[in-house]
Amino acid sequence: MKYRSTRGQVSGQSFESVVLEGLAADGGLFIPEQLPTLPADWQTAWAELSFPELATELIAQFVGTDLSHTEVSQLVQKSYATFDTPEVTPMVQLDARTHVLELFHGPTFAFKDVALQFLGNLFEFFLERRNAQSGGHRLTVVGATSGDTGSAAIYGLRGKKNVEVFILHPRGRVSAVQEAQMTTVLDENVHNVSIEGTFDDCQDIVKELFSRSEFRREHSLGAVNSINWARILAQISYYFCAFFALRRSHGADALPAFVVPSGNFGDILAGFYAQSLGLPVAKLVIATNANDILDRFLRTGTYEKDASVAATPSPAMDILVSSNFERFLWYLARDHEVPSSVVDPEERAARACEILAQWMDRLKTAGSFSVSPAALDAARQVFWSGRCGDAETYSTIAAHYSHEPSYLLDPHTAVGVHVAETLRPEIQALGAHVHSVCLSTAHPAKFSDAVLR
């Protein structure tokens, strides 16, 4: 298993190297050079596996020879022993055909614990192994957060050997609970930095640091944001877990339509990879708040930055640019922008990198780019989307809390549930066997101001 950059200047990288590097040297994001083929009997062989067992089987497909199956299993077991339920990501039914996949049972009560508990253990494992061979290997992890990534990264990396972690967050744009979770961790390897500005300003600083090659080498920079491939890989597991849970409770023909609150696109990108691996999925639905660059792209075919970030009750989604969208755009370019006359797979990949790099340059210089009608049609075959305003967020929380049975949503999950309810006719038209599965990304207690309002 080897990895390449979406920008085309880096290829042939091992799993270990892409985990420790995070961002490719050319500014691109790492993707597998080829997706693995799952065992032919995975739907039966994996049907009754526990979450850690299922995660082990999936992750093992992507690590090549860098980790043995036993090592993957040990890392996974260690990572999910910190969760407060053996199910890790349990599913709750809201009505006959709507479910919530609870991803907030980790140490910081956010979905990012699923990936960052694993990533922290990966960092420590690879560094200790390297130091056993030749000493002096350390990692300086730099990350930007709109709230949940920071606390989850800190709890995943606190006290880890050979790792220093610096987390940048926008002052006044994270919840009180999120800020407290970050700034009250006093481990010597944890450093919090408050930035006057938005999440995008924090992310720009991180990207600038990674672009300085000499500085990057000198300080051994590593990435903890979802630009790190291991983050996406770990999240694929709960899509498979939800699929099996749905079929156990609703029959062998039950099919999920996943509705995902989306900011940086990493969470739903994991769903795209799950589907690409062969997971039966009726539809992937992107749910955005007022910062709706992804919804606008699917409506118009133009990816365009707004002038500023709108502050909403769902701050983890308050971003201008969805960094992980680059990975999906690469596949869109390869399959629908490269001329069909180019048949060699490596040549198609190289041409996709060129197109992607041009798009990213236009985004940086002009603030937008557009894809072809064929590429937009292809994107719409994979994704639907919907937008949820502040008023709808609050009303959705209130409606489900007062409903019988009562269920308390955090504001990010409320965005997803609102979009699922708005698109209910379209989702139900996919078939009586299709169920909406809304990913619940955080515990409501983390956003008490919005919930109590």
The catalytic residue positions are 112
Our CA angle for 444, 117, 292, nearest 5°, is 50
Give the Cα separation of 145 and 197 in Å (integer).
12
Q: Where are the beta strands (DSSP E) in 289-419?
A: 302-304, 368-370, 383-387
Question: In this structure, what is the dihedral angle of CA atoms 158, 161, 166, 169, given to the nearest 10 degrees?
Answer: -20
The number of angstroms, rounded, from the C-alpha of 442 to the middle of its chain's C-alpha atoms is: 14
The amino acid present at 316, given as its one-letter code, is A
Print burial letters for 103-114: b (CB count within 10 Å at least 16), e (below 16): bbbbbbbbbbbb
- Please name the helix (run of DSSP H) or strand (run of DSSP E) that holds residue 326, with its range, or none: helix 325-336
3-state secondary structure of 411: helix
Strands 434-440, 255-261: parallel, antiparallel or unpaired by DSSP? parallel
Give the Cα separation of 133 and 136 in Å (integer).
10
Of 123, 54, 119, 125, the residue nearest 82 (C-alpha): 119
Residue 225's region, left for phi above 0, alpha for psi from -120 to 50, else beta, is: beta
